[in-house]
A and B are shown apart, each in its own frame.
Chain A
Amino acid sequence: MREITASGQTVEEAKENALKQLNLNEEQVIVDVIDEGKRGILGMFGSKRAYVKVTEKEDALQTGKTYLLDVAHEMGIENIDIEVSQQEQEMKFDFVGDKLGMLIGKRGQTINALQYLTNLVVNKNQETYFTVVVDAENYRQRRQDTLENLANNLAKKATRLNQEVKIEPMPSFERKVIHTALHDHSEVSTYSDGRDPHRRVVIKPNTME
């Protein structure tokens, strides 16, 4: 990460000088004004130059991609690449390659761990918070389909038995899929119970008190 201090007649000019030296535009940097400077009389007497410190922003998307690729390589996975996309505050890293099963793991536990770690790395030095999604072989979509199916089946079970049905513990973004899937269901409602990492969705028939 590069950082320089530059000066100019005004803050604006100092900033421009710094950007020119770094060869960056305004959106790629953080500007700290060190001294606002003074104009002085007739622009000659008692004038003081303005100083700013300009720091290059880390490209969070690149940081995340590099991190995931480095970790995957060290795990011994070769011939792998990542497709990156960003939509507002959500970054998506999609692994492309073969033998990605090892990256996904049982019930996605490895890919979820990688997603959590990447989230920490990406957000470490940022002012804005980014949501990170790590995907491989369309795992997230497949998992969402599975969870929606599961939700519907367990909703039927809950109605049939007239009993609460507890689903196994899962991370928040997976619980959300269940809640959303059953949100408009006429016969059941859902809530979460317990504390992470053991927090789980409970499906409750509406006929129950």
Chain B
Amino acid sequence: MKALIETIVTPLIDYPADLHVEVEETDAKIRYHITVNENDVGKVIGKNGRIAKAVRTVVHAAHSNTDKKVYVDIM
């Protein structure tokens, strides 16, 4: 699922080499932590967090078969 986030985010940003996704998984939850180049922050968050929300929506849809809570943090 880490690959999913990379697939979604890479084409949106200008410095793909600086994209890092960390995964932290416990019994009850999965937490993804996305970091990007500081010049790309706006491109993954968007006005009023609109892009971040779209990314979360797609990631959540992909996890619909687990019972774990899914979090997507940016920066």
Binding site for B on A (CB under 8 A): 63, 67, 70-71, 74-76, 102-103, 105, 109-110, 112-114, 116-117, 120-121, 124, 196-197
Contacts and interface: CB of A to CB of B under 8 A. Distances in A.
B58 A114 contact: yes
A109 to B, nearest CB: 6
Contacts of B4: 71, 74-75
B62 interface: yes
Given A71-B7, A116-B54, A120-B51, 17 more contacts: A74-B3, A74-B7, A74-B8, A75-B61, A103-B61, A105-B61, A109-B57, A110-B58, A110-B61, A112-B57, A113-B53, A113-B57, A114-B54, A114-B58, A121-B11, A124-B11, A197-B48
B7 A117 contact: no
A124 B44 CA distance: 13
The A interface, classified by DSSP as helix, strand, loop or mixed, is: helix
Interface of B: 1, 3-4, 7-8, 11-12, 48, 50-51, 53-55, 57-58, 61-62, 64
B54 A113 contact: yes
Contacts of B1: 74
Contacts of A75: 4, 58, 61-62
Contacts of B3: 74
Contacts of A124: 11-12
B14 to A, nearest CB: 9
A90 to B, nearest CB: 20
B13 to A, nearest CB: 9
Contacts of A76: 62
